[in-house]
Amino acid sequence: MNISEQALLFTSAGEQLPAIIARPQAMLCAGHQASAGGDNACPPGTADGHPAEAIADDRVGKERASCGVLIIVGGPQYRVGSHRQFLLLSRRLASAGYPAMRFDHRGMGDASGSMRSFEDLSADIAAAIEALQRNCPTVQRIVLWGLCDAASAALLYVQTSHDPRIAGLVLLNPWVRSEVSLAQTHIKHYYGQRLLQGEFWRKLLSGRMEVMKSLRTLFDNALLARRSRAPGNAPEKRSFQERMAEGWRQFPGELLLILSGQDYTAKEFLEFAGSDPAWAGLANASKVRRVDIADADHTFSARAQRAQVEDATLSWLGGLKGVVETNRQPPRDLSREHADE
């Protein structure tokens, strides 16, 4: 399927945010044509040089055109993504018939405003959804796609907004890090591996290792790892991890969870989700499809790993239900929050 790309600006809390929409060229998106000066404009009929994917069934094409994918950018990076990951993903999705938009949130990339935490992106996500639907009127359902803290931001958005347009979430190596979770991950995965490495023993036997310093670090991590299990340690304020779990649990749509086998963030997520009461049973819920890519690093930097992510996303999108329920309450207006910042 031929694709085109359009560059645009939209507003969130008074700031200008740039975005690129990749879409099937046949779609009539608010009467716009692809911008000739767009961000790395892709020639019609290709997706980064690969043959365009044909969609023989017009009904299937219309269903895909009704489902837009919003790629949320984590920090610190911008809408192209590490090793052009977001750019290539959006083109692959558009080639398969799904409109896809990637954008810079406030304070990141070419967007104006002050840089903000992933915990404070909900207003920008809401504004981006409005911009996508305004420019692509066929889009009724939205899938949020996020890597690392952008995956966390997606969960925080559904927890805050209860947005009925969100039909699905694609979460890659979600970020749940705290001092405690990092210590638990190091205890379980790092120290055991070090004992099996020849370099560790060579440094130890040659006297090049600061043994007391290493033991002190191990002891400190062990104390931190036990902290979450100790009674009376409930925080006064709800953590972002608890809010993520609430968003996951209450979300009525479907989730695709993609995890890297060679990534401490992914290991930390599994460790946290398997031990924290708020996360009990969430990763194994029937609405969750999990894909493990054993040799992948945090950003799926190899071409084969990137292709696996794209294939998994498209396969999952093909089975997504998520029909829009018109009788549900509209989402909270988050675009007006922080307007005075």
As a CATH number, domain 3-173+243-318 is: 3.40.50.1820
Q: Is 264 left (phi over 0), alpha (psi -120 to 50) or beta?
A: alpha
| Domain range list for the chain | 3-173+243-318, 179-227
Distance between CA 214 and CA 36 in Å, rounded?
Answer: 57
* pLDDT of the residue at 188: 59
Measure CA 74 to chain center: 7
Residue whose C-alpha is closest to residue 121's, from 12, 21, 16, 254: 12
User: In the structure, how many helices (H) and strands (E) does the chain have?
Assistant: 11, 10
* pLDDT of the residue at 53: 56
Average pLDDT by stretches of 10, the chain with 341 residues: 95 98 75 40 49 62 95 93 97 98 98 96 99 97 98 99 98 88 56 61 62 51 51 67 98 98 96 94 98 98 98 98 47 52 39
* pLDDT of the residue at 96: 96
Q: Collapse the DSSP code of 195 into the 3-class scheme (helix H, G, I; strand E, B; otherwise coil) and give the result.
A: helix
Task: Dig out the tokens for 134 from the structure.
Answer: 């305004």
Whole-model pTM above 0.85?
no
148-167 as b/e, with b when 16 or more CB fall inside 10 Å? bbbbbbbbbbbbbbbbbbbb
Please work out, in degrees rounded to the nearest 5, the angle formed at the alpha carbon of residue 274 by the alpha carbons of 272 and 280.
Answer: 110
Please work out, in degrees rounded to the nearest 5, the angle formed at the alpha carbon of residue 177 by the alpha carbons of 174 and 179.
Answer: 170
Residue 318: φ, ψ to 5°: -65, -25
* pLDDT of the residue at 37: 38
